[in-house]
Amino acid sequence: MELLIKGARVVDSHMDCVADVYINKGIIHKIDSNIQESCKTIRAEGLILLPSFVDMHCHFREPGFEYKEDLLTGSLAALKGGFTAVNLMANTNPVCSSMEIVDYVLERAKEIDLIDIHQCMAITEGFQGKSIAHLNSIDKRVKLISDDGNGVESNRAMLEAMLKAAEKNLIVMSHAEDRELSKHDTRLSENIMTFRDIELAEKTNARLHIAHVSTKEALQYIIEGKRRGASITCEVTPHHIALDNSAEYRVNPPLRTEEDVKLLIEGIKEGLIDVIATDHAPHSILDKEKGSPGISGLETAFSVCFTRLVKEGHISLSRLSELMSKNPAELMELNKGQVKEGYDGDLVLVDIDRMYEIDSAGFLSKGKNTPFHGAEVWGSLEATIKAGRVVYTRKELEYDN
C-alpha cells in the first residue's frame, strides 16, 4: 500500500513544518519537500498531518455487553475519532481474567481488521479482589493489567499483583477508588487509593499507570512519587479537563471542582501528566437513565482537547500530540505515535480552523452518551490513515491521480 500526502503542515511531538510524507508497505518511508512518487496522492495543503491517536483506556464491551458496544462499532468510532490503536479494559462478561478471553478479542479484532487492539487482563480473577493466580498464564501479548471499574481494595492482593507484574514486566493500571469510602466521599476514596498504589509500586518496583486522575491531591501524590524515582505514569480524560462539577454529568471518578480542573491543566502544561485517554464508556439510553457512569468519548476526544488546551493557549499542538500519540504508543510498545521514517503509516488529517457542533446522533459508537452534545468545538477530523490506507474520511478526499 503506497500513499503520498503532499503539502500538509506536519506536526508531532518533535516537529512542526510543511512537508510531504510518503508511505510504502504500511510504513512511513520518506519525509521531505517535493516528493515525487507515482501512487495515490492526497493534496493536503491547509490541513494538519498528525500521528494517529492511541487510547490507553477504552471499553468496547465485547464479549457480554454487545448491546452497549462491540468490537466493530468501537473500532469504527475509534477511526472516526482518529485512533488506530486502543487498550481495552477487562470488565467484559465474563471478566477477562483468562487468556481464552484475550484470544477471543484478538481474533475478533483480526477478523474486523480496522484498528490495532490490545486487551487488558484483570488484576484479580473475576474482579473479585482476591486471587491473582490467573496472572501466571499471561503471555507476551498482554502488556497491561487492570481491574478498571473497580479499585483493588485488598492491600495484599495489590501487593502480590505488583510483584507478579514486576516479574513479568507488566504495567499495572490502577483504578484508584476505595468503594467503601466512595459511599461517603469520592474525593477521599480516590486520594487514599492513589497514595496506597504509589507506595506499593515503590516497594515492589512495579510499573504503575494511574487512570483518570481527577483530584489535585491525587496529582500531587503522583508528582511526589515521580520525584522519588518511582516508575509511575498517569492519564487524564478529556472530560475531566473540559468540564467541572457544575456540568452534573455522571462519570466515575466524578467531575471535580474548577480548582481541580485548573491544576490538572497546569500538570499537563508542566509535563507532569503523561497521557490523555478517553475512558470511552458507551452505554445504552436505558442504562444511562438508570445511572450508569461514563461517556462515549472516542469521537470527540481530539476536538475537545484541541479546543480546551490548544485553542485556549495552554499548550502547543505538538504537546497535545505527545499526550495523545507518542506517550501512549511508547507505553504500549507500539511502532506508532510519531511522524518518523520507519514508523507505522498511521496518521490523521485535521482541519484546526473548522469549528463544528458535536451531534451525538451521528456517532458511529452505539453509545450516544455524552455531555458534549451541542457543544461547539474546533479541530475537525478530516481523515484517518491506517498503514497507508485511508480508512475514514469526513467527506470524500480529492486525489490528484
Tell me the catalytic residues: 279
Angle between helix axes 186-204 and 155-168 (nearest 10 degrees) is 40
- 371's grid cell: 455531555
* DSSP class of 61: -
- 330's grid cell: 511508547
3-state SS assignment for residue 385: strand
Distance CA 112, CA 237 (A): 27
Angle between helix axes 216-227 and 186-204 (nearest 10 degrees) is 10
- 202's grid cell: 515503590
Instruction: Tell me the β-bridge partners of 121.
Output: 145
User: Which residues, other chains included, contact 352 with Cβ-Cβ below 8 Å and sequence gap of 6+?
Assistant: 48, 306, 310, 317, 378, 379
DSSP 244-285: -GGG----SSPP--HHHHHHHHHHHHTT---EE---B----H
DSSP 297-353: -TTTHHHHHIIIIIITTSS-HHHHHIIIIIHHHHHTT-S-SS--TTSB--EEEEEEE
